Amino acid sequence: MSEQPKTTTRRDFLRTTGGLAVAASMPGFRLPNVHPSGDETIQVALVGCGGRGTSAAFNALSTKHGPTKLVAMADVFQDRLSGSYDQLAGSSLKEQVDVPADRRFLGFDGYKKAMNALRPGDVVILTTPPAFRWPHFQYAIAKKLNVFMEKPVTVDGPTSKRMLKLGEEASAAGLKVGVGLMSRHAKWLQELHARVQDGEIGDVLFMRGYRMHGPTASFESKPKPDNISHLEYQIRRFHSFLWCSGGCYNDFYIHHVDHLCWMKNAWPVSAQAVGGRHYRTTPNGEPLVDQNLDSYAVEYTFDDGTKFIFEGRCIDGAHGIYSSYLHGSKGMAIAARSGDCNGPSSTYRGQKPIAENMIWQSTDRTNPYQEEWEVLMDAIRRNKPYNEVERGVEASLVSSMGRMAAHTGQLITHDAMLNCEHEFAPDVDKLTYESDAPLMPDASGRYPVPRPGWNPKTEF
């Protein structure tokens, strides 16, 4: 990968994709009113009515920058659409849920119908698996909609370039875009960031992130049952398939990648990694056919030589740890004490996080999932430039860089990852219920898996 002849740096790429966003941030730049009719209500559509999408809809309806109203929903599976609708319409926010049956859209083109029900300046929530992010975002921009989209926003090089370009187009159109990397909206991490920048722990020399627990979500998959199509099976179990999610590495580990790189104010320039899969059967011997490794240890390197280690594991019975740390020339910090970004965060003199060394510990308990909506809605109401796409793409790309280093057994640079031409699901925008899945199994029902060293150019 690192010897690819024709490479583009991210800076080159942004320079050649217009730069029109500058216009949107110029003094005096005005968008048309969000709603020329004078109606203050911002309408919301939900595309991808699963767990996170339903929660994000609750966040949208709970904002202090209302009024807001949910008016359309779209999904590819009836049970998910109905389940989400029932939850929202049966909740304490039901007055803000106005989604009659003819605005609940089923199908791979449902996203278009849901967005067609909105007016320019309204908000669409994009919470499908990430494979669908770029076509959905593209249509949102065409419809002049503000967007909240979940992480990861890309899973490979070509879609990263596409999303960077779309992000620029959204800014140029004056649209506001939030990305669900909620760490950045956790008040304790914001305070830690300020303290680190002020030199409280000295120069940051080393960072560590860990997410190690048993198999969760759709990390592992048994062979497809007969009563379901390949496409449906893979979308329902998207963490198992690299085209759909980037696998467990991107989906589970991106939050630590994102907030530790933020603490450093930089993205790593390269990654080397080890990874393996210890168990290809359940404890009682049933085969597991997904594409994930169950153990990853990635060493990222920043331009100044600083290292960041991320370790991820999905194995029952092994030591569990799910937290992140920074080490500086004067002291150290706990960033996420547990989970993706849970506080309290704290700083210490020296390298041992013990009570007598503590300098500061956060006390804030604000919900970052709500906070990310407050910032987005405030920007929409006050027409302030707001676009988290570039950061979302970088966090996704750096996740992919670590994953690819483990999957190929090679040192992968940031530019090599951005320029890697392997697009995992090139025709994802053309899928229908009748389509084959972008990845089909072999005759035994198994999918191609990473072969580090043996397959040094591509991940599967």
Ligand X SMILES: NC(=O)c1ccc[n+]([C@@H]2O[C@H](COP(=O)([O-])OP(=O)(O)OC[C@H]3O[C@@H](n4cnc5c(N)ncnc54)[C@H](O)[C@@H]3O)[C@@H](O)[C@H]2O)c1
Write out the residues near ligand X by the rule CB under 6 A.
Answer: 47-53, 74-77, 80, 108, 110-111, 127-130, 132, 150-151, 180, 182, 235, 251, 340
One-letter amino acid for residue 411 of the chain:
L
Minimum distance, C-beta of residue 321 to ligand X, in the bound complex (Å) = 18
Whole-angstrom CA distances from 363 to 22, 187, 344 are 38, 9, 6
| Closer to ligand X by Cβ: residue 47 or 393 | 47
In the bound complex, what is the minimum distance in angstroms from residue 339's beta carbon to ligand X? 9
Closest to ligand X by CB, 58 vs 108, is 108
Of 73, 12, 452, 441, give the one whose Cα is nearest residue 241. Answer: 441
Q: What angle do CA 370, 371, 376 make, to 5 degrees?
A: 100
Q: Which is nearer to ligand X, 139 or 348 (CB)?
A: 139
- Helices then strands, each counted (H, E), the chain: 14, 15
Q: Which of 164, 175, 109, 180 is nearest to 142 (CA)?
A: 175
Q: Terminus-to-terminus CA distance in the chain, angstroms?
A: 14
Would you state the structure tokens that stand for residue 446, as one six-digit string?
A: 């198994």
Largest CA distance in the chain: 66
Q: How far is the CB of 318 from ligand X (least distance, A)?
A: 23
- Smallest gap from Cβ 52 to ligand X, in A, equals 3
Whose Cβ is closer to ligand X: residue 110's or residue 343's? 110
Given the complex with ligand X, which of 180 and 343 has the nearer CB atom? Answer: 180
Q: Where are the beta strands (DSSP E) in 141-289?
A: 146-149, 177-179, 204-213, 270-276
Find all residues with CB under 8 Å of 65, minimum gap 6, and list them: 374, 377, 378, 380, 381
Nearer to ligand X, 54 or 410 (CB): 54
- Nearest residue by C-beta to ligand X? 50
Minimal distance, residue 345 CB to ligand X, in Å: 17
Minimum gap (Å) between residue 130 Cβ and ligand X: 5
